[in-house]
Amino acid sequence: MEYVHVPVMANEVLQQLVPERDNALMVDCTTGEGGHTKLFLEKYPSLKVIGLDCDSSIQQKAKHRLAPFGDRFEPRHIWFDEFWKNYEGPEVDLVLFDLGISVFHYEESNRGFSLRKQEELDMRLNESEGLTARDVVNTYPEQKLADVIFRYGEERYSRRIASAICEERRKHSIETTDALADVVYRAVPQEYRHLRFHPATKTFQAIRIEVNGELDRIERALEGAMNALRPGGRIAVITFHSLEDRPVKWFFRNHNDKLEILTKKPLVPTEQECKENPPSRSAKLRVVQKRRDV
């Protein structure tokens, strides 16, 4: 079955990111399958979008989906922080970050993002890069592994889980998602095994963040986007958990000399959207505008 990622908070994003001029330039920093970009290209006939994605497989889906817009969509296979680090193009009118992981990665990529499947432990968003989830699980020292699970998963049983992983890998390497999920399941207390989410969910999140360096990229990318933004231009960021939202919130606050915060409290999905698109439930949208006098 082929899944299509539904763009989160589409109405709110369209309301907040409105180009002030014809032939405006937008950068979609996390294009995915192109859901948000498609809506913008349809609504604004003169808008051009540079679409970034580090995953060449999902970018192919976006290219196919957005082919009818011709050269108004320019795909770039690159991490968003690396793009902004070397950006030398014209001033940008609009910037969008959707920091969520696409349904594609859980359901179609076969890279071990989902703990519900038996897949090799990979979790790389960019398959050409080296570190994999298998490397983290089988080679990290126990203390470092516990720190990763605690810091990036906010998992209270991180030490127990890391100890269990190290004990298991002394017998044989842990190669698949179901094997890792089983180790975590057996490591946690009985009452922790019957929550509404699988007890390995936070561990999987932590390892994925470690593999891809996800949190380290956010502030660098925001810095570059802010510098490239034209006065009056806007940046919108959709986050899905506090580890993503926190650095975004503080970056915007710490740069209030250049950025006006338009969402004093983050916008959240409507009840209807949460029912129709459950992955949107934890989403938060923050928007800023570059001050016109900078």
Fold of 114-212: DNA polymerase; domain 1 (1.10.150)
**10-104+214-290 and 114-212, same CATH topology:** no
The order of strands in the sheet holding 284-290 is: 73-77, 48-53, 25-28, 92-98, 229-239, 284-290, 259-261
Rounded to whole angstroms, the Cα distance separating 94 from 229 reads: 7
Give mean pLDDT in consecutive 10-residue pieces for the chain, a chain of 294 residues: 73 97 97 95 98 94 96 97 95 96 75 86 90 97 98 97 98 96 95 86 96 96 98 97 96 98 96 91 96 92
Whole-angstrom distance between the N-terminal and C-terminal Cα of the chain? 50
Decide if 52 contacts 76 (C-beta within 8 A): yes
Residue 93 is inside which H or E element, if any? strand 92-98
Q: How do the domains of the chain map onto residue ranges?
A: 10-104+214-290, 114-212
Domain 10-104+214-290 has CATH 2.60.120.560: no
Note the pTM of the prediction, 2 decimals. 0.94
Burial class of residue 197 in the structure, from the number of CB atoms within 10 Å of its CB (0-12 exposed, 13-18 middle, 19+ buried) = exposed
49 alpha-carbon distance from chain centroid: 19
Rounded to whole angstroms, the Cα distance separating 55 from 30 reads: 10
Exposure string for 51-70, b = 16+ CB within 10 A, e = fewer:
bbbbbeebbebbeebbeebe
Q: What is the pLDDT of residue 1?
A: 46
